[in-house]
Amino acid sequence: MPYYRRVGEVPRKRHTQFRQPDGSLYAEELVGQEGFSSDSSLLYHRYAPTAIVAAEEFTPPAYTRVPNLPLKPRHLRTHKLDGAGADPILGRQYLLANDDVRIAYVLADRPSPLFRDATGDHCLYLESGSLRVESPFGVLDAVAGDYVVIPTSTIHRLVPTGDEPVRLLAVEAAGHVGPPKRYLSVRGQFLEHSPYCERDVRGPDTPFQVDGEDVEVLVKHRRGWTRYTYARHPFDVVGWDGHLYPWAFSIHDFEPITGRVHQPPPVHQTFQGPNFVICSFVPRKVDYHPDAIPVPYNHHNVDSDEMLFYTGGNYEARRGSGIEQGSISLHPSGFTHGPQPGAAERSIGADFFDELAVMVDTFRPLDLCDAATACEDDGYAWTWARKG
C-alpha cells in the first residue's frame, strides 16, 4: 500500500527489546515482499508466530480449466449459480483463469476458515452484502461497492455480517496487486491526477486479539494446500507498523476521468497485477464534443482478453444483449468487439451514464472453468448479428 500505517503498541526503534507485562519479549514478525527489498510491515506477537503442532495435506474443492474454444465472446450469468450455504473462501466458484489470475464468484452466508494464500494477493469486490475481514493486522469492515486487497500470505478470515448473504467477486493473483504506478510518485504518494488517493483508502486501525490453542489454518502454497495447526491463535498482535496490510477502497470513491470524446479503458484503471489490470466503470458525465458518440467504438485489444462484471446501473453499450445485474462478459483477444447494434445512435446526445462495472483485462488468454459453463448464455455471441 502506498502509505505508512501504525496501529497499536510498537517500540520506538525496530528490532529492539519490546517486553510484555510479564517481562518476556514480544515476538517480532517481519512480513515483506521481494526478499527484504520492497514493502513490508513489522508485527509484534504475544506468542511465537512459528509455533505449529501439526501439518497435513489438504484437498480443496476441485475445478477444471478448458480453453475458450471455439473462440467467441461469452456471457456468464453469475446469479444463476447455486451457492446457498457457502463460505467466502472455500465456496468460491471459479469462472475464468490463467497462470496469472483466477476469477471466482461466491454467494456466502457463513464465516470462512482461517486461510493464507502464499501464492499471491487477493482483490475482492463486494457486489452486495457486508463483510468483516479479520487478520493479525486488525479488523476491516467492507460493504457493497468495496474493493478489499489482501496481501500475499496474510492469515485472514472472511465473516459475512448483516441480514443478507454476501455476493463477492474474487480476483486471485499469482503475484502482487496495487494502484497503477503512473498514479504514484517515486516515493509512493498518490499524484494529483490519480482518480483516488490516500483519503479514500481504509486500513485496520486497532489491534485485534483472539485467544485460542490448537488453531487450524489452511495454507495455499506453490505445491498445493496444507492444513496447519498452530499452538496459539495467530491473531495475537499488540501492534504493527509498515506499508503492507489489508486495505479497502470503495468504487464509489473512484473519480472518473472524462473528455470531449470517448476515453479508452486505461482512464478507468484502478489496480495493476501480474499481467492483468482491474478497471472501474462508474456513473459519470460523458463526452461533450458536439459530435461525440459516447459509447465505445469497436475495438480489438490484440494483446489481452477483456472480462467485464456488471454490478449496477445501465450499461448502454450492451442494451439488448441480455446483460443483467451480476453478468460477466468475456471478449477474447482474436475477436473484435464493440457496442450492440443501435447503441451508437442511441447514445448520441447523452450527457451522463449511470453504470457500474468492474473490468479485468489479462495479457494471457483466460480459460473457462466449470462454473462458467454452468451459467453461460449460449446466445450472446450472435447478438451483434441482430438488427438494431
On whether the CB atoms of residues 45 and 30 are closer than 8 A, the answer is no
Query: Annotated binding site for homogentisate, which residues?
Result: 315
pTM value > 0.85 = yes
On whether the CB atoms of residues 255 and 195 are closer than 8 A, the answer is yes
pLDDT per residue, tens digit, the chain (388 aa), is 669 999 999 999 999 999 999 999 999 999 999 989 999 999 999 999 999 999 999 999 999 999 999 999 999 999 999 766 799 999 999 999 999 999 999 999 999 999 999 999 999 999 999 999 999 999 999 999 999 999 999 999 999 998 999 999 999 999 999 999 999 999 999 999 999 999 999 999 999 999 999 999 999 999 999 999 999 999 999 999 999 999 999 999 999 999 999 888 899 999 999 999 999 999 998 898 999 888 888 888 889 999 999 998 877 656 666 889 999 999 999 988 888 888 888 888 888 889 999 999 999 999 999 999 999 999 999 998 875 4
Assigned C-alpha cell, 67 = 480453453
Residues of the chain with CATH 2.60.120.10: 5-63+83-250, 252-385
5-63+83-250 CATH pick, 1.10.1060.10, 3.40.50.1700, 2.60.120.10, 3.40.50.10800 = 2.60.120.10
Query: Annotated binding site for Fe cation, which residues?
Result: 299, 305, 337
Fold classified for 252-385: Jelly Rolls (2.60.120)
Active site amino acids:
262
Of how many residues is the chain composed? Answer: 388
- Give ∠ CA 70-75-81 in degrees, rounded to 5: 115
Euclidean distance between CA atoms 36 and 269, whole angstroms: 28
Query: Annotated binding site, which residues?
Result: 299, 305, 315, 337
| Bridge partners, 325 (sequence order) | none
Q: In this structure, which long-range contacts are made by residues 319-326, counting pairs with CB atoms below 8 Å and at least 24 apart in sequence?
A: 319/343, 319/346, 320/383, 320/386, 320/388, 321/75, 321/380, 321/383, 322/75, 322/377, 322/379, 322/380, 322/383, 323/75, 324/77, 324/79, 325/79, 326/77, 326/78, 326/79, 326/127, 326/167
Euclidean distance between CA atoms 124 and 230, whole angstroms: 26
